[in-house]
């Protein structure tokens, strides 16, 4: 498809027709992409379009709208906070939503995680975690410990340092390798051979490393790659043995997505630093958290500023976003979110199984896998990504495949009928119906 002529109208939404000439869309080749759908409203797990159609959201707005759209408890909390104080700088001033949220996250987080640093996005929370890890060693007179161990299949964000610990094969990082510092990238220690190689590498190179960084149990945007709790345990044990910090990126996996509040709980592992975002505000406002253990925090305490963590996004601890996050945590306490995830897992497991071995016009299916509220149909390749996305939309479902992956990650509150429509749609379309 060629670029759209300026005179060609898009939809019934005039703002889209004018704005499309000036906006730069994410993850989009603007020369060839079809026009985006004009959204006018959301409710529950439904997206209303300007032309009157309604889509069932199968991906929860990039995996963030865990309570569905427009939950009244979050909406009311944000409205109250907006009328009182939307934001105040967090340097030298304090606001109640941020301080309350920090206390609640510290109480909820595994192990000795107790100090919360707020930012606005998951990528930035990873950069903060990396910066903390390097300075942890700098403050102890160990400047040589500045490298990171990361893994094939990883994705930790699109900013520079976050890309450096991602996988260059995902098409995001590869072209920027000269810009970023090179890190140590290994295969996940899934079995005896890879664990032995992992151990040998750390025995040799750990003195150069600040930390190991890993997405626990599911590597998300790198291809929805699953690994076992035993793999996570092996990584944690090796970090302990070699004196390395462990950073767990729970931006996607945390806050219930895999059936426990944090994925690392399923392995009985507590990291030194953990990152959160996405579901933190229920998908309503930008907010991320980097949570450090007490031992890490204490390395930054001294009489001088040189040892302090000199970092501070303008909107760190934003009162409006923190009010939304507190309301989101309320819902985890008062509504059966983890039970809902278990029910979604059971449904996805049974309903997506007919995709196994299918071979339709979009490609052949290599694998079907489910963990928590994550259902994955892996293709050998997807022949026409734009065409496949349009086909799902034509069926009334918002499903956005990437790479060679068709996946569902719906809101935890999705009803059985809507979930059935999503899984039926995937089975039908992937199978060539």
Concerning whether 381 is annotated as a catalytic residue, the answer is no
Burial call 40-75: b when 16+ CB within 10 Å, e when fewer = eebebbbbbbbeeeebbbbbbbbbbbbbbbebebbe
**CATH number of the structural domain spanning residue 136:** 3.40.640.10
Concerning whether 278 is annotated as a catalytic residue, the answer is yes
By three-state DSSP, how is residue 49 classified?
strand
pLDDT of residue 171: 57
Structural domain of residue 86, as residue ranges? 72-334
Chosen domain end from 314, 334, 354 = 334
Residues of the chain with pLDDT under 50: 1-10
| Contact predicate 95/85, CB 8 Å | yes
**CATH number of the structural domain spanning residue 55:** 3.90.1150.10
The set of residues, in sequence order, having a beta carbon less than 8 Å from that of 343 and lying 6+ positions away, is none
Chosen domain end from 334, 365, 380 = 334
Q: Give the C-alpha separation, 397 to 404, whole Å.
A: 19
Concerning whether 187 is annotated as a catalytic residue, the answer is no
Residues 192 and 230 in one domain: yes
Residues 365 and 352 in one domain: yes
Q: Per the residue annotation, which of 27, 76, 295, 380 is the catalytic one?
A: 27
Residues 216 and 285 in one domain: yes
Residues 156 and 58 in one domain: no
pLDDT of residue 213: 98
Residues 322 and 384 in one domain: no
Residues 114 and 256 in one domain: yes
Domain-located, residue 20? no
Residues 56 and 80 in one domain: no
Residues 226 and 361 in one domain: no
User: Mind listing the pLDDT tens digit for each residue in 54-90?
Assistant: 999 999 999 999 999 999 999 999 999 999 999 999 9
Domain-located, residue 23? no
Provide the whole-model pTM. 0.95
pLDDT of residue 4: 40
Q: Give the C-alpha separation, 243 to 206, whole Å.
A: 8
Residues 316 and 356 in one domain: no
User: Mind listing the pLDDT tens digit for each residue in 327-356?
Assistant: 999 999 999 999 999 999 999 999 999 999
pLDDT of residue 10: 46
Domain count for the chain: 2
Domain-located, residue 25? no
pLDDT of residue 6: 44
Q: Per the residue annotation, which of 20, 167, 278, 418 is the catalytic one?
A: 278
Which residue bears the tokens 């993850």?
Answer: 27
- Helices and strands in the chain, H and E counts: 13, 17
Residues 320 and 374 in one domain: no
DSSP string, 201-242: HHHHHGGGEEEEEE-SSEE-TTT-EE--HHHHHHHHHHHHHH
Concerning whether 155 is annotated as a catalytic residue, the answer is yes
Residues 46 and 96 in one domain: no
Q: Per the residue annotation, which of 17, 167, 170, 249 is the catalytic one?
A: 249
Which residue bears the tokens 């963030």?
Answer: 64
Domain-located, residue 359? yes
Which residue bears the tokens 């390749």?
Answer: 381
Q: Per the residue annotation, which of 57, 155, 170, 272 is the catalytic one?
A: 155
Q: Give the C-alpha separation, 88 to 81, whole Å.
A: 12
Closest CA to 269 of 248, 244, 293: 248
Q: Is 396 left (phi over 0), alpha (psi -120 to 50) or beta?
A: left
pLDDT of residue 9: 46
Chosen domain end from 334, 350, 367 = 334
The set of residues, in sequence order, having a beta carbon less than 8 Å from that of 403 and lying 6+ positions away, is 170, 223, 382
Residues 225 and 275 in one domain: yes
């Amino acid at each position: 498809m060629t670029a759209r002529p300026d005179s060609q109208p898009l939809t019934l939404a005039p703002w889209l027709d004018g704005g499309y000439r000036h906006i730069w869309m994410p993850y989009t080749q603007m020369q060839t992409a079809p026009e985006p759908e004009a959204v006018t409203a959301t409710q529950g797990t439904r997206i209303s379009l300007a032309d009157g159609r309604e889509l069932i959201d199968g991906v929860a707005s990039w995996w963030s709208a865990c309570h569905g759209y427009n939950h009244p408890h979050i909406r009311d909390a944000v409205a109250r906070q907006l009328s009182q104080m939307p934001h105040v700088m967090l340097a030298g001033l304090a606001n109640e939503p941020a301080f309350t949220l920090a206390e609640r996250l510290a109480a909820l987080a595994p192990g000795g995680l107790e100090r919360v640093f707020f930012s606005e996005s998951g990528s930035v929370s990873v950069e903060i975690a990396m910066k903390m890890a390097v300075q942890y060693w700098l403050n102890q007179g160990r400047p040589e410990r500045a490298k990171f161990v990361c893994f094939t299949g990883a994705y930790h964000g699109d900013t520079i340092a976050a890309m450096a610990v991602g996988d260059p094969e995902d098409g995001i990082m590869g072209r920027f390798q000269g810009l970023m510092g090179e890190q140590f990238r290994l295969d996940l220690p899934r079995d005896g051979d890879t664990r032995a190689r992992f151990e040998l590498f750390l025995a040799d190179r750990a003195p150069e490393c600040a930390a190991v960084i890993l997405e626990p149990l599911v590597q998300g945007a790198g291809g929805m790659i699953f690994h076992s709790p035993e793999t996570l345990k092996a990584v944690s044990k090796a970090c302990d043995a070699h004196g390395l910090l462990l950073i767990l990126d729970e931006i996607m996996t945390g806050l219930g997505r895999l059936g426990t509040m944090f994925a690392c709980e399923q392995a009985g592992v507590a990291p030194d630093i953990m990152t959160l975002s996405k579901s933190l505000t229920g998908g309503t406002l930008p907010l991320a958290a980097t949570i450090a253990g007490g031992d890490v925090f204490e390395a930054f305490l001294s009489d001088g500023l040189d040892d302090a963590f000199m970092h501070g996004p303008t909107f760190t601890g934003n009162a409006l976003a923190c009010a939304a996050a507190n309301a989101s945590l309320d819902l985890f306490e008062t509504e059966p979110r983890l039970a809902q995830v278990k029910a979604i897992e059971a449904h996805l497991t049974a309903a997506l199984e007919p995709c196994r071995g299918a071979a339709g016009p979009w490609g052949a299916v290599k694998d079907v896998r489910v963990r928590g509220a994550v259902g994955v149909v892996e293709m050998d390749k997807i022949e026409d990504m734009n065409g496949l996305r349009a086909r799902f939309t034509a069926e009334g479902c918002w499903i956005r495949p990437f790479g060679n992956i068709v996946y569902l990650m719906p809101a935890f509150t999705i009803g059985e009928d809507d979930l059935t429509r999503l899984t039926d749609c995937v089975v039908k379309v992937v199978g060539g119906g």
